[in-house]
Structures are given as structure tokens and as C-alpha cells.
Amino acid sequence: QQPVQSPQAVILREGEDAVINCSSSKALYSVHWYRQKHGEAPVFLMILLKGGEQKGHDKISASFNEKKQQSSLYLTASQLSYSGTYFCGTESNNAGNMLTFGGGTRLMVKP
């Protein structure tokens, strides 16, 4: 079953913050986050593993609550380059690369 992402779309002004949520009904081993710009390949942002760790990467960070099977991606002081579609991918079978991706969140950052 596909994880549920929310919101489906968000429009920001440069410098504003955003949170994208990813929720699964299955027990998870890891959560991946990718960003895809129009006409391009998805690009890796970060992986969160069981243990509830929070990871950061420039002004983009994420958390993973394994008890709730939820992950959140935090975009701080957004830049125009942050525009794109964000996907979370969840791993629940502990048997190799078999990610189940959410439906995506379209983010548009305006000047």
C-alpha cells in the first residue's frame, strides 16, 4: 500500500518554510526522500532509518517517527531551486531495494 503524502501541493514565497508529511500503514525500515524537477530524474535528498533520527542537509531536514510510521520533510527559508515534486519512498520488507513511493507533493517557490 502506497504511503500517503500531504499536502498534495504547496505554493511558497522565497524565504518561507514548508513541511511535507509522509504516512504509512506498514512497519518501516527506512524512509527515503527524493525531489524531481519537471522532465528530470528524481534526485536523492536523504534516507532516514529506524531509530527516529533526524537528518539535515543544508536547509532541508527530515524526521522519522517509527512508532507512528510517519516521516516529515522540513524546508527552511525556501529558495527558487526548491521547486519540484517531492516523493517519499518507504522500505518495509527488509529484502533489498523495493521502495513504495507516495503520490508526491508539488512545491512551487515564487520570488
Partner 1 sequence: KAGVTQTPRYLIKTRGQQVTLSCSPISGHRSVSWYQQTPGQGLQFLFEYFSETQRNKGNFPGRFSGRQFSNSRSEMNVSTLELGDSALYLCASSLAGTGREKLFFGSGTQLSVL
Neighbours of 91 (CB within 10 A): 20
Asked if residue 86 lies in contact with residue 72, where contact means CB atoms within 8 angstroms, the answer is no
Site string for partner 1, 54-83 (x = CB under 8 A): ------------------------------
Asked if residue 74 lies in contact with residue 17, where contact means CB atoms within 8 angstroms, the answer is yes
Closest CA to 8 of 76, 75, 88, 80: 88
Among 44, 53, 56, 59, the residue binding partner 1 under the rule CB under 8 A is 44
User: Residue 19 or 99: which CB sits closer to partner 1?
Assistant: 99
Please report, as ranges, the residues that interact with partner 1 according to CB under 8 A.
Answer: 2, 29-30, 32, 34, 40-44, 47, 49, 87, 89, 91, 93-104
